[in-house]
A and B are shown apart, each in its own frame.
Chain A
C-alpha cells in the first residue's frame, strides 16, 4: 500500500513538472496546408508592381478564379505596361476602360496549363490562350541583355514564378490580340498589292478574311509574295501575273493556274517558322501539292529538293518579315516567286542498299558486310529503313551485304544488297523503307531480289504495301524467276533486272500504285507466311505505267543496260 502512495505522489510530481513547462501559452495551430500564395496572392504581395493588373482582374471578375485551385499560366504585365496600354485605349483609369476590351485582354494573358520557359520555342506556345489566339515566343537582345519576348510585344522581366495554382511570367507590356485577318493585314500593306489582287480574283480573299468559329478550320498559314519578289520574276503588274497563269479566263475556277498559284501559297493550320521547320512537308490548299521545308544554316527554304540527283534551288522565307500573326492565322514573306512544279512521272530505280548511314562508313560501303543491329525497340540505326520488332532480340538487324565474289551479291546492282530477317514467331514481322522523293503519278512497283533459301524448306511469302495501300500481288523471297522471254515474263509480273541471266535474280511486279503527292513515299514488306533470315533485297523499281518496264537492266559495277 505504501508503495502505491509513493507511486501516486511520484506521478503527481512528474505531471506537475511536465505541465509547468508549457504554462498558459496559447498553442498556435497551422491550419493551412501550405503557405504558398496563388496567382492573385502573388500580385497582392507585389502591389507596387501589379496594382493596376490586380484592379483589372477585379473589375473583369477574374480575381476569384485565379485565386482558386487550378493550373494556370499568367503573363502578368507590370503597372508601367498597363499604363501604356490604358493610354493607348484612351482611358484615364482602369475603371474608365471598356469592360469587354479588358476582358479580352485578360484572357489573352492566361493559359489553362502551366507552361515554363523551357517549352518556349521560336514558334507558338503549345497551349492556346483563353482568348483563343496562340501566343508566339522569341528571344530579343537589347543592349546585350537577352530576354524572352512574348507575342513580339512584352519582354519577360521575371520568369517561372511558381505559385500555388500555376506559374507567373512577369512582362513589361500588355499583350494585345491580333484584330485583323490575314487578308486585311496583307491588304493594308502596299508591298503585297499584286498578291492581294490575286487573292481577290481567285476568291481566296474571302476565305482569308473570315474567322471560322470552328477552331479546327480557323487557322491558316500564308506564304505571301511581295511585289518585289514578283517583279524579280518578271511580274511587274497584276496583269502580267494573270496573263501568265490564268488561261481559263476565270481565276475562280479550281483548274485555272492562277487559282492553283494562290492555293499553293496557303496551308491549313497555324504554323510559325518555329513550327514550320519541324515538319519536312506541308500540304497546301492545292490538293495533293506540298511545299517542302528545309532549314539550312539559319535560312528557312521552301521547295529546296533534290530530284534524280539534281538540286533544285528553293525560296527563302524572310525571317524579319515573317511570323506575322492575324486573327485567323499567320503569314510569311517568301523572298521569291514560286509555283507548283508540274513534273512528269519519272522512274525511280532505287538501290535500297545505298543509304546514308552505310555511306558514312567508307571501310564498309562497297567494301564489306556491315550489320546494323537494334539493341532495343527504341533504336533506329538507319533513318529510312525500319522494321517491326522481332520477338527474338537477336534477329533485329539489317545486314548490308557486299561482295564481288559471293554468289549472293556478285550480280547485284553495285554488288550489294540489304538483308533483314523476317517472319513471326521470332523474326521481325515487317520491314519498312522510305523512298527518295517520287513524282506524283501512276507507277508499277517491282521488288528486285536475289532468291535464297535459308534451308531447303524455307518459305518467305510477303505482302507489299505502299503508303498503306496493299499491293495487288504478293512476292516471295524464296521464289526464283520463272523461265520465259521478257514479254512472257512481264505478262505474268516478272522480269530479269540484272545483266546475269540466272533465275536466282528476280524482279516481281507487286502491283500498281498512284501517288497523289510528290514526296518521299513509304513502302512496307510484311511477312505473311514462312520465316527466314536470307531476304536479299537489292532494288525497288517504281516505273511509270506508260514506260518500258523491263529495261534498263543493272550491272554489279553500277552501270545500266538500256537495250
Chain B
C-alpha cells in the first residue's frame, strides 16, 4: 500500500513539474562550454584561438606506445620520426616498437602508426577555423583592427602552410583542405591533391602571410615561438629549395640575413694553435632555446614538457631511438691524437657517444648529466639561423655561385670547429661535390633536428632524381645488412620515398587512393 501511495505522489509531482516552461529543457546548448555562435565575438577570443594553434602542435601522443591499434604519436614525435627514422643517424633501441623498427628497415606498411597524419590535420583545422571565422570578429568587436586581424591571419596561414609542407614532403599527394570543419555536417571525404598543387598552395599562403605578418611581438619568447616575417621567409626558402626555385630561395634567405636580427651563437674560435670553446654554447642554443640563432622553435616549457624524455630516455632499457653506433666516426669524425680538437656539435652536442644517447633534447649540458623529467622542455627547432645560411649556400651552388656557397659553409664550420677530416675541399665549380659538402655539413649541424631524411631526399630528387645514388648509399648504411639489397631496390621506386596513407584513413575516406608502392 505504501508503495502505491509513493507512486501517486511521484506522478503528482511529475504532473506539477510538467507545467514549467519547456524552453530551457529543450535548449541543447552545453552548460560547460561555448558554441561557435557565441564565440568569435571579441579579439581576445581570436588571440586565444591563434595561441591554440601553437598549443595543438605540442599535444601529447595518445594510446600506448608499441600498441599498433591505438597509438597515435604526438606531432613533435612525428617531426623526429619522419625526419630521422628512415635516415642514417638513428638506430632502434631496446624499447623500439615494431613500427619504428619497420621504418628503419624500409619495411613500412599502411598499418604503421608512424603514417598517421591525424595530428597534422587537426592543427590544419584549427588554422582553417581561424582563417574562416576571425574576419567575422571585425563586425562584433570595434576594438579589433584590420591590422590585428591580418597579423593573426598570417600566423594561421603560415602554420597551415608548414603543416602541408611536412605532409607533402612525407606523403607526396595529400588531401588539401582549406575550409574549416566546424561540425559533423562539414565532414566530407575528399581525394588527394597532387604534390605540386600542394606546394603551389603553400607558396600562395606564405606569400599572403608575409604581407600581413609582424617583424616582432616585443618579447623574445613570442618572436621565436610565433610566426614572424622571418619565420615565413625561412619556410619559404625551404619550400623554394624543394621546388628547385633557387633565385627565390636566395631572396627569402637574404631577407632574414639582411635583417641583422640573427647570428650564430659562438661555439668555438681558433686562437692560434689552440681552440677556445664557448662552454655556454649548448646551454644557450639548446638547453634554454630562444637564442639569437633561433628563428622558429616549438616552445615547450615546464608547464608543457616535450615528449622527448620518454623517447630518448636515460634508462637504456626504455629508450626508443638511439644514435647510430658509428655516428661519431662517420658524421663528425674524431681526432684521436688531440682530444682538445673536436666538433662541438658531436659528442656532448648532438649525441652522448659513450651511451649513444640522442643528447640534444635530453642533455642538461654538454658535459653534465641528463635533464630530469620535470626539466624536459628542450624546444623543437624548426629553423635556426644556421639553417638559413646553409639553405642559401645550397641555392647559391645550384645557381652556379659556388664560391659564395663555400664561404657560407666554412663560416658555419668554423663556428663549430668542424674537423679537417670532414672538409671535402671542393673546387668552387664542382657543383656535385659542393652538394655533398652541404649535405654532410647539414648532417652535422642539424643532427637529430628532423631534417636529415628531407635533406637527403631533396638532394636525391633534384633535377628529376639525378642523384638518387645519395639516397641509395644512405639506405645501405641505415638498414640491417640482411635487408640491404632489398631496401636499395625498393628505394629505386620513387613512390617508396613517401609514406603510405594510414589504413584507418583509407577505410574511412573512400576517396583516397593508396600510394601504389604499398600494394
A residues sitting closer than 8 Å to B (CB atoms) are 3, 116-118, 120-123, 137-141, 144-148, 156-160, 273-275, 277-278, 295, 297-298, 319, 357, 359-363, 365, 367, 370, 372, 374-376, 378-379, 381
Q: Is the CB of B328 within 8 A of A360?
A: yes
Tell me the bound Cα distance from A122 to B315 in angstroms: 34
Interface residues in B398-432 (C-beta closer than 8 Å to A): none
B438 to chain A, nearest CB (A): 23
Q: Which residues of B contact A277 (CB under 8 A)?
A: 481-482
CA distance A237 to B328 in the complex (A): 50
Q: Does B45 make an interface contact (CB < 8 A)?
A: no
> Is residue B339 contacting chain A, with contact meaning CB distance below 8 A?
yes
Stretch at the interface among B168-176, B387-395, B491-499: B491-499
CB pair B493–A145 under 8 Å, yes or no, is: yes
Q: A146-B490, A360-B353 are in contact. Are A118 and B102 (CB under 8 A)?
A: yes
A146 and B316 within 8 A (CB): no
Which residues of B sit under 8 angstroms from A141, Cβ to Cβ? 489-490, 492-493
A117/B109 in contact, CB under 8 A:
yes
**Residue of A146, A148, A295, A319 with highest tally of chain B CB at under 10 A:** A146
Residues of A contacting B: mostly? mixed
Instruction: Decide if A147 touches B336 in the complex (CB within 8 Å).
Output: no
B485 — nearest CB in chain A belongs to which residue? A122
Q: Which residues of A contact B23 (CB under 8 A)?
A: none
Judged by a CB distance under 8 angstroms, whether B376 is at the interface is no
Residue in B94, B109, B355, B489 whose CB lies within 8 Å of A138? B489
Q: How far in angstroms is the closest Cβ of chain A from B322?
A: 11
Residue of B nearest to A374 (CB): B316
Which of A120, A298, A359 contacts B476 (CB under 8 A)? A298
Q: Are A122 and B109 in contact (CB under 8 A)?
A: no
Min C-beta distance of A250 to chain B, whole Å = 41
Q: Which residues of A contact B4 (CB under 8 A)?
A: 3
21 example contacts (A-B, Cβ-Cβ < 8 A) are as follows A117-B107, A117-B109, A118-B102, A122-B484, A139-B489, A141-B489, A141-B490, A145-B495, A145-B517, A146-B489, A146-B490, A146-B491, A146-B493, A157-B519, A159-B519, A278-B481, A278-B482, A362-B336, A372-B354, A376-B317, A379-B316
User: By the criterion CB–CB under 8 Å, are A146 and B102 in contact?
Assistant: no
A148–B486 Cα distance when bound, in Å, is 8
Q: How far is A471 from B178 in the complex, measured between Cα atoms in Å?
A: 76
Q: Are A360 and B339 neighbours in the complex by a CB distance under 8 Å?
A: no
Q: Give the docked Cα–Cα distance between A319 and B485 (Å).
A: 10
- Chain B residues near A359 (CB-CB < 8 A): 336
Are the CB atoms of B353 and A122 closer together than 8 Å?
no
Return chain B residues, CB-CB under 8 Å to A367.
339
Further 13 A-B residue pairs, CB within 8 A, beyond A145-B495, A319-B485, A359-B336: A122-B482, A122-B485, A145-B493, A146-B491, A278-B482, A297-B473, A298-B476, A298-B485, A362-B338, A362-B342, A372-B354, A376-B94, A379-B94
Q: Is the CB of B494 within 8 A of A144?
A: yes
**Docked complex Cα distance between A297 and B477 (Å):** 8
B486 touches A120 (CB 8 A): yes
Contact of B492 (CB < 8 Å), options: A146, A148, A365, A374: A146
Partner of A146 from the list B317, B354, B482, B517 (CB cut-off 8 Å) is: B517
A376 to B486, Cβ gap below 8 A? no
Shortest distance from the beta carbon of B138 to any chain A beta carbon, whole Å: 52
A144 touches B493 (CB 8 A): yes
With A278-B481, A362-B335: A118-B107 Cβ-Cβ less than 8 Å: yes
Q: Which residue of A lies closest to B110 (CB)?
A: A160
- Name which residue of chain A comes closest to B516, CB basis: A145
Q: Is the CB of B317 within 8 A of A378?
A: yes
A114 to chain B, nearest CB (A): 14
Query: Interface size (B, Cβ < 8 Å)?
Result: 44
Interface centre among A140, A156, A158 (most CB of B within 10 A): A140
Interface code B485-519, partner A: CB below 8 Å = 1, 0 otherwise?
11111111111100000000000000000001101
With A117-B107, A118-B107 already in contact, the answer to whether A274 and B354 are too (CB < 8 A) is no
Q: Which of B107, B317, B476, B482 contacts A275 (CB 8 A)?
A: B482
The reply to whether A118 and B105 form a contact with Cβ atoms under 8 Å apart is yes
Tell me how far the C-beta of A185 lies from the nearest C-beta in chain B, rounded to whole angstroms: 22
Q: How far is the CB of B2 from chain A (nearest CB, A)?
A: 14
C-alpha spacing A285/B339, complex, angstroms = 48
Please name all residues of chain A whose beta carbon is closer than 8 Å to the beta carbon of B486 when the two chains form the complex. 120-122, 137-139, 148, 274
Residues of B within 8 A of A116 (CB): 109
Select from chain A the residue with minimum beta-carbon distance to B329: A360
- Chain B, range 307-362, C-beta contacts under 8 Å to A: 314-317, 328-329, 334-339, 342, 347, 353-355
A144-B492 contact in complex given A121-B486, A360-B329, A378-B316, C-beta closer than 8 Å = yes
On whether the beta carbons of A362 and B334 are closer than 8 Å, the reply is yes
Interface residues of B (CB under 8 A from A): 4, 94, 102, 105, 107, 109, 314-317, 328-329, 334-339, 342, 347, 353-355, 473, 476, 481-496, 516-517, 519
| Residues of A contacting B335 in the complex (Cβ-Cβ under 8 angstroms) | 362
Which of B109, B489, B494 sits near A118, CB closer than 8 Å? B109
Given contacts A146-B496, A375-B317, contact A274 B482 (CB under 8 A): yes
Cβ of A301 to closest chain B Cβ, rounded Å? 12
**8 A-B pairs with the lowest CB-CB distances in the bound complex, closest first:** A146-B493, A139-B489, A376-B317, A362-B339, A141-B492, A139-B486, A118-B107, A363-B339
Please name all residues of chain A whose beta carbon is closer than 8 Å to the beta carbon of B485 when the two chains form the complex. 122, 138-139, 273-274, 298, 319
Using Cβ atoms and an 8 Å threshold, which residues of chain B touch A375? 314-317
**Complex CA distance for A273 and B473, rounded to whole angstroms:** 19
> Which of B335, B486, B490 has the most A CB atoms < 10 Å from its CB?
B486
Contact present for A140 and B489 (CB under 8 Å): yes
Report the nearest B residue to A379, measured CB to CB. Answer: B316
Instruction: Give chain A residues whose Cβ lies under 8 Å from the Cβ of B492.
Output: 141, 144, 146
- For A160, list chain B residues within 8 Å (CB): 109
How far is it, in angstroms, between the C-alpha of A159 and the C-alpha of B516 when the chains are bound?
12
- Of all chain B residues, the one with the shortest Cβ separation from A358 is B354
State how many angstroms separate the Cβ of A550 from the closest Cβ of chain B.
33
Please, which residues of chain A bring their CB within 8 A of the CB of B496? 146
Contacts of B491 in A (CB 8 A): 146
Of B4, B102, B316, B494, the most chain A CB neighbours within 10 A belong to: B316
Task: Give the nearest-CB partner of B94 in chain A.
Answer: A378
Q: Is there an interface contact between A158 and B329, defined as CB atoms closer than 8 Å?
A: no
Smallest CB separation, A507 vs chain B (Å) = 29
Quick one: which of A3, A147, A363, A370 contacts B519, CB cutoff 8 A? A147
Partner of A376, one of B316, B347, B493: B316
CB distance from A347 to the nearest CB of B (A): 26
Beyond A146-B493, A376-B315, whether A361 also contacts B476 by CB under 8 A is no
CA distance A139 to B102 in the complex (A): 16
Q: How far is the CA of A123 from the CA of B316 in the complex (A)?
A: 31
Q: CA of A116 to CA of B110 in the docked complex: distance in angstroms?
A: 13
| Complex Cα spacing A147 to B486, Å | 9
Query: Does A295 contact B481, Cβ atoms closer than 8 Å?
Result: yes
Q: In the complex, what residues of A have CB within 8 A of residue B519's CB?
A: 147, 156-159
Q: Which of B315, B481, B487, B489 has the most CB of A within 10 A?
A: B481
B462 to chain A, nearest CB (A): 17
Residues of B within 8 A of A123 (CB): 482
Write out the residue numbers on chain B whose beta carbons fall within 8 Å of the beta carbon of A138. Answer: 485-486, 489
**A139 contacts across to B, CB distance below 8 A:** 485-490
Q: Which residues does chain B contribute within 8 Å of A122, judged by CB atoms?
A: 482-486
Q: Are A361 and B354 in contact (CB under 8 A)?
A: yes
CB distance from A311 to the nearest CB of B (A): 17
Assembly CA distance A185 to B481 (angstroms): 28
What is the bound-complex CA distance between A437 and B487, given in angstroms?
32
A residues less than 8 Å from B487 (CB atoms): 139
The residues of B that contact A147 with a CB separation of less than 8 Å are 519
Is there contact, CB below 8 Å, between A360 and B317? no
Distance of A134 from chain B, by nearest CB (Å): 15
**Within the complex, what minimum Cβ distance (angstroms) separates A23 from chain B?**
31
The CA-CA distance from A123 to B482 in the complex, in Å, is: 7
CB distance from B336 to the nearest CB of A (A): 5
Q: Which chain A residues border B347 with CB–CB below 8 Å?
A: 361
Residues of chain B contacted by A362 (CB below 8 angstroms): 334-339, 342
